[in-house]
Structures are given as structure tokens and as C-alpha cells.
Amino acid sequence: MDNEEQVPSQTAQALTIESSEAQEARDEDEYEAATSKRTETMIKHLQANFKVKE
């Protein structure tokens, strides 16, 4: 009987871990996108303010 009670608990733990990993991946993607956008904006400002030698 005791073993049967542990199964839902273990399933809940696995889902929580999976959910937290998925959230971490989404946060990382959002961070990458925001960083990329800031970098693009910075490059545009630098190009507008300085002449680039080629």
C-alpha cells in the first residue's frame, strides 16, 4: 500500500522538474533574444555616430 502512495508523488516531482526545466529554457531564450536586440540597437547607434572604416 505504501508503495502505491509514492507513485503519484514521484510523478508530481517529475512533472515539477520537467516544468522547471522548460521554464529555464524559455527564460534563456528570452534573455538571448533581449541581449541580441540590445546588441543590434547598440551597433546601429555606433554606426550612426561613427564612420566605419572598410
Is residue 30 situated within a structural domain? yes
Is residue 35 situated within a structural domain? yes
Helix (H) or strand (E) holding 20: helix 2-49
pLDDT reported for residue 4: 55
pLDDT reported for residue 6: 64
Per residue in 1-54, pLDDT tens? 455 556 678 788 877 878 888 889 999 999 999 999 999 999 999 989 887 666
Three-state secondary structure along 29-51? Answer: HHHHHHHHHHHHHHHHHHHHHCC
Is residue 51 situated within a structural domain? yes
CA distances from 43 to 16, 35, 37, 38 (A): 40, 12, 10, 9
Q: How many domains does the chain have?
A: 1
CA dihedral 13, 16, 18, 22 (to 10 degrees): -170
pLDDT reported for residue 52: 64
pLDDT reported for residue 51: 76
pLDDT reported for residue 53: 67
Residue 33: which domain range? Answer: 23-54
